[in-house]
Structure 1
Amino acid sequence: MTGKKSFRTGLFPLIAATGALGLALTLSVNAHGEKEPDRWWAPGEGRVFPASLDYDNGHGTLRTLLVGGPMETRGHPFFEPLGPTGRACVTCHQPSDAMSLSVESVQRQWQRTGGKDPLFAAYDGSNCPTLPQDKAESHSLLLQRGLIRIERPWPVRSFNGKPVTPDFRIEVLRDPNGCNSGPHYGPEAGRISVYRRPRPVANMKYLLAVGFPFDPKQGYALPLDPDSGLPQSGNLMADNRSGSLRLQMEDAASSHLQMLKRLTPQQRKRLEDFELRIFTAQQFSKTGGAVDTGGAKAGPARLRDSQAGALGSIGEPVWSEFAGWEKISPEEAAKLTPQQLAFRQSVARGARVFREKTFLITDSAGINSRVGFGNPVRNSCVFCHNMTQMGNDVAPGQVDLGTTTLPFADPWNDLPLFRITCLGRPHPHYGRVIHTYDPGFALTSGRCEDVGKITLQSMRGLSARAPYFSNGLARDLRGVVDYYERRYSIGYTEQEKQDLVNLMSVL
Structure 2
Amino acid sequence: MAKLRHSFRSLFLLLATVTGAAAVSVAAARDPLPRWWSPGEGRVFPEELDYENGDGTLRLLLTGGKLETNGHPFFEPIGSNGRACVTCHQPADAMSLSAQSARERWDATGGKDPLFAAYDGSNCPSLPQGERASHSLLLDRGLIRIERAWPVREWNGKPVTPDFSITVVRDPNGCNSGPDRGPKHGNISVYRRPRPVANMKYLLAVGFPFDPKQGYALPIDPRTGQMMSGNIMADNRTGTLRLQMEDAGSTHLEMLKHLDEADISRIEEFEKRIFTAQQVSKEAGALDTLGAKGGPAHLRDSEPGALGSIGEPVWSEFAKWEDISPEDAKTLTPAQLAFRQSVARGAKVFRERTFLISDSAGINSRIGFGNPVRNSCVFCHNMSQMGNDVAPGQVDLGTTTMPFADPMPDLPLFRITCLKAPHPHYGREFYTMDPGFALTTGRCADVGKITLQSMRGLAARPPYFSNGLAGDLRGVVDYYDRRYDIGYTEQEKRDLVNLMSVL
Check 1:84–1:376 CA distance in 2 against 1; reply closer, same or farther (3 A cut).
same
* Superposed displacement of residue 404, structure 1: 0.3
Q: Distance in 2 between matches of 1:428 and 1:29?
A: 62
* Superposed displacement of residue 311, structure 1: 4.8
Contact 2:309–2:390, Cα closer than 8 Å, also in 1:
no
Who is 1:467 aligned against?
A: 463
Who is 1:238 aligned against?
A: 234
2:189 to 172, 190, 193: 193
Q: How many residues align?
A: 480
* Superposed displacement of residue 34, structure 1: 6.6
Q: What does 1:177-256 align with in structure 2 at a 5 Å threshold?
A: 177-256=173-252
Who is 1:304 aligned against?
A: 300
Q: Distance in 1 between matches of 2:88 and 2:311?
A: 34
TM-score norm. by structure 2 comes to: 0.94
Q: Distance in 2 between matches of 1:91 and 1:314?
A: 33
Q: What does 1:436-475 align with in structure 2 at a 5 Å threshold?
A: 436-475=432-471
Who is 2:488 aligned against?
A: 492
The alignment status of 1:104 with 2:96, answered yes or no, reads: no
* Superposed displacement of residue 175, structure 1: 0.6
Gaps of 5+ in 1: 1-25
Q: Distance in 2 between matches of 1:485 and 1:89?
A: 36
Q: Distance in 1 between matches of 2:277 and 2:98?
A: 15
Contact 2:151–2:160, Cα closer than 8 Å, also in 1:
yes
The alignment status of 1:84 with 2:50, answered yes or no, reads: no
Q: What does 1:395-474 align with in structure 2 at a 5 Å threshold?
A: 395-474=391-470
* Superposed displacement of residue 315, structure 1: 1.4
Check 1:112–1:423 CA distance in 2 against 1; reply closer, same or farther (3 A cut).
same
Who is 1:148 aligned against?
A: 144
SS of 1:124 mapped into structure 2: helix
Who is 2:6 aligned against?
A: none
Who is 2:33 aligned against?
A: 37
Q: Distance in 1 between matches of 2:331 and 2:295?
A: 21
SS of 1:419 mapped into structure 2: strand
Check 1:314–1:138 CA distance in 2 against 1; reply closer, same or farther (3 A cut).
closer
* Superposed displacement of residue 183, structure 1: 2.1
Q: What is the RMSD computed on CA atoms of the aligned residues?
A: 1.7
Check 1:313–1:66 CA distance in 2 against 1; reply closer, same or farther (3 A cut).
closer
SS of 1:454 mapped into structure 2: coil
Q: Which structure's CA Rg is the greater one?
A: 2
Contact 1:235–1:455, Cα closer than 8 Å, also in 2:
yes
Q: Distance in 2 between matches of 1:401 and 1:158?
A: 23
TM-score norm. by structure 1 comes to: 0.93
* Superposed displacement of residue 309, structure 1: 5.1
SS of 2:57 mapped into structure 1: strand
> What one-letter code is carried by the residue in structure 1 that aligns with 2:430?
I
Contact 1:310–1:387, Cα closer than 8 Å, also in 2:
no
The alignment status of 1:341 with 2:337, answered yes or no, reads: yes
The alignment status of 1:385 with 2:372, answered yes or no, reads: no
Listed one character per residue, the Cα deviations across residues 444-499 of structure 1 (whole Å, up to 9, x for unaligned) are: 00000000000000000000000000000000000000000000011110000000
* Superposed displacement of residue 27, structure 1: 13
Q: What does 1:261-276 align with in structure 2 at a 5 Å threshold?
A: 261-276=257-272
* Superposed displacement of residue 69, structure 1: 2.1
SS of 2:166 mapped into structure 1: strand
Contact 1:157–1:164, Cα closer than 8 Å, also in 2:
yes
Who is 1:15 aligned against?
A: none
Who is 1:286 aligned against?
A: 282
Q: Distance in 2 between matches of 1:314 and 1:46?
A: 37
411-420 or 447-456: which moved more? Answer: 411-420
